[in-house]
Amino acid sequence: MKDVKAEYDRAFEYYERSLKLREKCLPADHPHIATSLNNIASAYCAKGGYDRAFEWHERSVKIREKYLPANHPHIAIALNDTVPV
């Protein structure tokens, strides 16, 4: 179990680094930022942090809805990921 926790912690570190780099180079509402937000949310979900995951997923969905057509699969996936199991 300790190894699994370490892997999640490492994943968070990489996802957060990726987000910070993207935020420096891209507009705040760029689709690549939405991808980083979604990755962080998924990691929270995997750890059982559903409240935190929901917040990150919501931010991701808002960006995707702004740039993508309403019927785009990435919006459907992001909305699906927002709902905790």
pLDDT in tens, 12-52: 899 999 999 999 999 999 999 999 999 999 888 888 888 89
Q: 43-71 b/e with 16+ CB inside 10 Å = b? A: bbbebeeeeebbbbbebbbebbbeeeeee
Could you tell me the CA-to-CA distances from 77 to 4, 6, 21, 59, 80 in Å, in that order?
25, 27, 24, 14, 5
pLDDT, position 5: 66
- pLDDT: which is higher, 1 or 75: 75
Mean pLDDT of 49-71: 90
List CB contacts of 68: < 8 A, sequence separation 6 or more.
31, 74, 75
Domain annotation for the chain: domains and CATH numbers:
2-82 (1.25.40.10)
